[in-house]
Amino acid sequence: MQPNPFPSLDALRGGAHVVSLPMRVKFRGILHREALLLQGPAGWGEFSPFPEYDDGEAAPWLACALESAWHGFPEPVRGSVPVNATVPAVAPEKVEAILARFGTVPAVKVKVAERGQALADDLARVAEVRRLLPEAGLKVDANGGWSVDEAVHALTLLADYGLEYAEQPAADIPGLRAVRLELARREVPVPVAADESVRKETDPLLVAREEAADLLVIKAAPLGGVRRALDVVAQAGLPAVVSSALDTSVGIRAGVALAAALPELPWACGLGTLSLMEGDVSEQPLVPDDGVLAVRDPGVSEALLARHAASPARSAWWIDRLERVYSRLIGAPEP
């Protein structure tokens, strides 16, 4: 976690701005993304755990924001990061317009297993992406939405489209392990990636010890910051790819710093999600250019902070949350 001493709560409140950014398309069931931004001596940090997360789950997100704003990032080993497009669980006829927002990309991640949809919807969406981008790397993300049997059946069919991997095809670690073993038994060439089973577990290394995944999908904020995430990858001994959590450019910057510091980066990262949003807090937002993100600081615009300022009621809600999570964080033991 963030090394002591922590900045004071007054320092956090004094540099806090709450924003609400409109989405181009509904994602995770939301049409506006709220975030609390903190300004510190090293720059800006983002505290934006989703509203349904409790204070315990939100604490690592605050640790990441404090690392970003008060301590900065480790030295990068690369100057740019490859980035994939992200296609939400939309109808096939909407896929082309969504991909157009990303420009040229080396890979695409497609959301599948959406509640209320059928496997036929997933197959049609993935088929449309493959039709439009026949040479791109292709991966699917189920967010734990399938049972083991559903995952094996779906991935057996989806394998025909040449998947790089399937992200969180089952909800928990035993389920991931079962899916991975059954796909291997059937000789279905789809590697299993763990996302929620890393960032939502008390022990983020358990999925590796249980041999339940071929790779890890890591996010800086849920793991408590860039340095903590790098340590998890090193201890797990598995390859990793970096993703974002629907962040502003401030949060994307932490993800870029993490991807840039990984010793190896075999896949394009899920750090292009600003393309799903109508606004940002930077005049030079961290959006991919020809499928890559440069390792740079985007800067934060006072005018854009004002334009996208959340309502007084929502700002008060976030400041109250900041105070609660801060109290929990400073009393938390080292991991």
The pair of structure tokens assigned to 217 is: 């999908």
Q: pLDDT band for position 30 (50/70/90)?
A: confident
Output the pLDDT for position 241: 98
Alpha carbon distance 99, 88 (integer Å)? 10
Map residue 125 onto helix, strand or coil: helix
Burial class (CB in 10 A: 0-12, 13-18, 19+), 81: buried
Output the pLDDT for position 334: 44
Helices (H), 23-81: 55-66
Q: pLDDT band for position 332 (50/70/90)?
A: low
Evaluate whether 99 touches 84 at the Cβ level (below 8 Å). no
Going by the annotation, the residues of the binding site are 141, 167, 195
Q: How does strand 30-40 pair with strand 43-47?
A: antiparallel
Residue 7 has pLDDT above 70, yes or no: yes
Q: What is the pLDDT of residues 311-322, one digit of tens each?
A: 999 999 999 999
Q: pLDDT band for position 3 (50/70/90)?
A: very low
First to last CA, the chain: 7
Output the pLDDT for position 29: 76
Burial class (CB in 10 A: 0-12, 13-18, 19+), 1: buried
Q: What is the pLDDT of residues 37-91, one digit of tens each?
A: 999 999 999 999 999 999 999 999 999 999 999 999 999 999 999 999 999 999 9
Domains recognised in the chain with CATH numbers: 9-72+303-330 (3.30.390.10), 80-301 (3.20.20.120)
Q: What is the pLDDT of residues 119-166, one digit of tens each?
A: 999 999 999 999 999 999 999 999 999 999 999 999 999 999 999 999
Of 3-17, 229-243, 264-278, 310-324, which gets the smallest average pLDDT? 3-17
Q: pLDDT band for position 1 (50/70/90)?
A: very low
Of 16-30, 34-48, 214-228, which gets the smallest average pLDDT? 16-30
Q: CA-CA distances (angstroms) from residue 272 to 62, 186, 211, 251?
A: 22, 34, 29, 12
Evaluate whether 217 touches 243 at the Cβ level (below 8 Å). yes
Alpha carbon distance 298, 82 (integer Å)? 17
Going by the annotation, the residues of the binding site for Mg(2+) are 141, 167, 195
Indicate the average pLDDT of the chain. Answer: 95
Evaluate whether 217 touches 255 at the Cβ level (below 8 Å). no
Residue 251 has pLDDT above 50, yes or no: yes
Alpha carbons within 13 A on the beta-carbon side of 10: 0
Beta-strand runs (E) in 247-323: 292-294
Alpha carbon distance 245, 227 (integer Å)? 18
Q: What is the pLDDT of residues 153-210, one digit of tens each?
A: 999 999 999 999 999 999 999 999 999 999 999 999 999 999 999 999 999 999 999 9
Alpha carbon distance 146, 117 (integer Å)? 12
List, by residue number, the catalytic residues: 111, 219
